[in-house]
Amino acid sequence: MPDLNPPAPELRPHVLYCREGDGVRLATWRLQEGHEALALFTSPDAAATYQGELLGGSAWTVFQPPREALVDILKSCRDAGILYAALDPLGGQARTLFDIPRVLAAADRAGGA
């Protein structure tokens, strides 16, 4: 009998970033409640669409971080007070909203943090 609950594939999102002085700035999305969320994308095309819609300019770079780097990015966001990540925040609506502290706790339990 086939597995009716196959494991979900691991999300390998893309981020948009630009260099600012000696640091890096990640693209974010503002929730209606005013909270800032890290913008994550399922594809380079979705990231490019977001860049064209909201960010403007060509200084932004699409990057698909390896799992360890993504965990580090999420930790940096949490430490900076950004507690959510929005997947494909296009057209004023995100596909999924992730709670960064919960994602990090799950990664820690899985041995990935």
pLDDT at 76 over 80: yes
pLDDT at 7 over 60: no
Mean pLDDT of 83-95: 92
The region that residue 81 occupies, defined by phi over 0 for left and psi between -120 and 50 for alpha, beta otherwise, is left
- pLDDT attached to residue 32: 85
- pLDDT attached to residue 1: 38
pLDDT in tens, 23-57: 889 999 998 888 899 999 999 999 999 988 876 66
Question: Which residue segments constitute the domains of the chain, with CATH numbers given?
Answer: 15-109 (3.40.1350.90)
Residue carrying the six token digits 């640091």: 23
Phi, then psi, of 40 in degrees rounded to 5: -115, 150
Whole-model pTM: value is 0.84
